Amino acid sequence: MTTSSSATDASTAEAFRVVANPNPATEAERAEKLSSLKFGVNFTDHMARMTWSMDEGWTDRRIEPYAPLQLDPASSVLHYASEIFEGLKAYKWADGTIRTFRPQANAERFQRSAWRMALPELPTEDFMASIRALVELEKDWVPTIPESSLYLRPFLIGTDVFLGLRQPMTVDYLLIASPSGPYFSGGVKPVSIWVEQEYHRAGPGGTGAAKCGGNYASSLRPQIEAGKRGYDQVLYLDAKTDTVLEELGGMNVFVVMKDGTVVTPVLTGNLLEGVTRASIIQLLEDDHLKVVERDITIKELRDGVASGDVAEVFACGTAAVVTPIGKMGSTDFEQQVGDGQPGPVTLKVRQTLTDIQYGRAEDTYGWMETIC
Ligand code: COI
């Protein structure tokens, strides 16, 4: 993992021409937005954009005013969900620098998602260059209040004007930026999870590992039903046997055993290869905990919670960081995890990770990429 930009990154970054927003937020408007932050509600003045066509490849690197998109109603994204996205954050450190966390890992996953969804793969240099160009321009939008960041949302959409079902011949890449507070408000508060026994998120050979909008859209009905039952989030089981834990839809899951072993579902191709997940595995191992990536059945989890062999359960993701799970339930059970409060392993790994991200601890892994 590199900690500084390569020559290729820098030269491509220069290729992003800037079309300045004629009506950017005033300093007072920006200060007001940055003083009370929610997740994903406000956006900066500009967005990065590139266009791809089957004939010309990637062209027209630009930064343009943040604005509604003009799309032909026949565009493939609107009919066949030709779309993928990423999520990463830029942090303002106490020394005034702005850094992102493992952006190359997002760039690589973006390429894998693109391949699965028959969209063009964006070169890592362009992904990085778009981030550099936009974040440098919008540096005053990076918030400084605790637990805040500039959430970056790169995405690809099929703009092919054709109602036949085919690989899009034209695509747009966009990068928008949202000064954001925590995904879950109220500090490190445990969430409750509904173990879904009716709906599945992904099946073997499906799109579970791709970060495509369709996976998230199909999670909304189960989420609504779980909400009606009083639960905050949904935990999905595998579609083949209905017994093995997969993920929460927007987050990966970890189970901490009483003996200190930490278990997380193995990457089967059905679940998202979380950047936060991979980072947490590394941090736990370096903290001398044994981490095992394997199948975990819901029976094993329920029995372990009941006997006390399972001490903690937590979820993680870029937006949600590390979120403790305090309660689990489904049609046939309801259980509190431990004492229902965040456990020590959960809290420690959260602190270690966020200390690196916010520059409060040394970045011994070279995970942080300096933008400016
Ligand atoms: C993220 O964690 O960045 C995601 O993309 C998940 C989304 C539900 C906010």
Predicted confidence (pLDDT) per residue in 215-225, tens digit: 999 999 999 99
Is residue 350 located within the same domain as residue 230?
yes
Domain-embedded: residue 338: yes
Q: Of 13-22, 251-260, 311-320, give the lowest mean pLDDT range.
A: 13-22
Closest atom, ligand 1, to C-alpha of 211:
5
Domain-embedded: residue 205: yes
Residue 1: per-residue pLDDT: 30
Closest atom, ligand 1, to C-alpha of 319:
2
Is residue 204 located within the same domain as residue 163?
no
The pTM score is 0.95
Domain-embedded: residue 371: no
Instruction: Tell me the two tokens of residue 56.
Output: 């010309």
Is residue 350 located within the same domain as residue 247?
yes
Q: Which range marks the domain in which residue 47 is found? A: 9-181
Domain-embedded: residue 2: no
Considering only CA atoms, which residue is closest to atom 7 of ligand 1?
A: 250
Domain-embedded: residue 364: no
Kindly tell me if the per-residue pLDDT of 12 is higher than 90: no
Of residues 42 and 8, more confidently modeled? 42
Considering only CA atoms, which residue is closest to atom 3 of ligand 1?
A: 87
Ligand 1 midpoint to CA 88 (Å): 8
pLDDT tens track for 28-55: 999 999 998 999 999 999 999 999 999 9
Domain-embedded: residue 322: yes
pLDDT tens track for 227-284: 999 999 999 999 999 999 999 989 999 999 999 999 999 999 999 999 999 999 999 9
Using most ligand atoms within 8 A of CB, pick from 318, 321, 357 the residue to mutate for ligand 1.
318
Ligand 1 midpoint to CA 38 (Å): 14
Look at phi and psi of residue 360 and say left if phi exceeds 0, alpha if psi is from -120 to 50, else beta.
alpha
Is residue 224 located within the same domain as residue 242?
yes
Name the band, by pLDDT with cuts 50, 70 and 90, for residue 8.
Answer: very low
Which of 133, 163, 181 terminates a domain? The answer is 181
pLDDT tens track for 93-134: 999 999 999 999 999 999 999 999 999 999 999 999 999 999
Ligand 1 midpoint to CA 56 (Å): 32
> Is-contact 154 127, C-beta < 8 A?
yes
Which of 159, 181, 203 terminates a domain? The answer is 181
Closest atom, ligand 1, to C-alpha of 317:
2
Residue 3: per-residue pLDDT: 32
Closest CA to 213 of 358, 342, 113: 113
Considering only CA atoms, which residue is closest to atom 5 of ligand 1?
A: 87
Q: What is the Cα–Cα distance from 1 to 103, expressed in whole angstroms?
A: 10
Q: Name the domain count of the chain.
A: 2
Using most ligand atoms within 8 A of CB, pick from 109, 215, 216, 322 the residue to mutate for ligand 1.
216
Ligand 1 midpoint to CA 153 (Å): 9
Closest atom, ligand 1, to C-alpha of 183:
9
Ligand 1 midpoint to CA 302 (Å): 27
Residues 6+ apart with CB under 8 A from 236: 196, 199, 200, 201, 202, 222, 245, 246, 247, 248, 249
Is residue 246 located within the same domain as residue 211?
yes
Is residue 213 located within the same domain as residue 165?
no
Residue 187: per-residue pLDDT: 81
Domain-embedded: residue 281: yes
Q: What is the Cα–Cα distance from 51 to 71, expressed in whole angstroms?
A: 13
- What is the average pLDDT across 54-82? 98
Is residue 130 located within the same domain as residue 26?
yes
> Residue 255 maps to which CATH number?
3.20.10.10
Q: What is the Cα–Cα distance from 156 to 176, expressed in whole angstroms?
A: 12
Domain-embedded: residue 127: yes
- What is the average pLDDT across 305-314? 98
Task: Write out residues with Cβ below 6 Å of ligand 1.
Answer: 87, 250, 317-319
Is residue 76 located within the same domain as residue 139?
yes
Q: What is the Cα–Cα distance from 170 to 19, expressed in whole angstroms?
A: 22
Is residue 147 located within the same domain as residue 216?
no
Which of 181, 207, 241 terminates a domain? The answer is 181
pLDDT tens track for 138-196: 999 999 999 999 999 999 999 999 999 999 999 999 999 999 999 998 789 999 999 99
Closest atom, ligand 1, to C-alpha of 151:
3
Residue 185: per-residue pLDDT: 83
- What is the average pLDDT across 68-73? 98
Is residue 246 located within the same domain as residue 153?
no
Q: What is the Cα–Cα distance from 136 to 131, expressed in whole angstroms?
A: 8
- What is the average pLDDT across 320-342? 97
> Residue 58 maps to which CATH number?
3.30.470.10
Is residue 172 located within the same domain as residue 319?
no
Is residue 17 located within the same domain as residue 156?
yes
